[in-house]
Amino acid sequence: MRRLIPHPGLSVLLVAIWLLLANSLSVGALFMGVIVGVLLPIFTAPFWPGRPDVHYGKGLRYIVLVLWDIIVANFEVAWIILFKRNRDLHPAWLVIPMNLETPEAVTVFAGTISLTPGTVSADVSACGCFLLVHALDVADPEAEIAKIKARYEARLQKIFA
């Protein structure tokens, strides 16, 4: 089964994207989506030799958590913009030490931070052990780093185990 569908998550994503691009749920669009979703990963499998094992159930829960955090952060940033004076803001650069081992996990971690309003990933260190993040308003940088590591990095370590 692994030879037929070497990247099941990618295959499902490709089928979904194909259906969205086709703007149709017809049998023909689904058939073409399945063909693309099966063939493209087969042809690109040699370019992914060290693919990590992904726990999709935990990944789905992570997506729900991130979506919730995005909604909450939107309201927090709106409150900051509407009611906080510029001199009361405490922007900060956070250097987050990472324990993530795969480039895919680091990419998801950095992307998660950038998707959440009020924070943006700026750089990954050359050794891949640190992530530079800019935060809009941080009272305690160390507490914010601990929160980000506990909320996102710990879950990503379990997903990409």
Give the CATH number for residue 99.
Answer: 3.30.70
pLDDT band at 8 (very low <50, low <70, confident <90, very high): confident
pLDDT (tens digit, 9 = 90+) per residue, 36-78? 998 888 888 788 777 777 787 898 999 999 999 999 999 999 9
Residue 101 has pLDDT above 90, yes or no: no
Q: For residues 160 and 51, what is the distance between their CA atoms, to the nearest angstrom? A: 10
Q: Are 64 and 99 within one domain?
A: yes
Q: Are 32 and 105 within one domain?
A: no
- Total number of domains in the chain: 2
Residues 6+ apart with CB under 8 A from 88: none
Q: What is the mean pLDDT of the chain?
A: 90
Percent above pLDDT 70 for the chain = 98
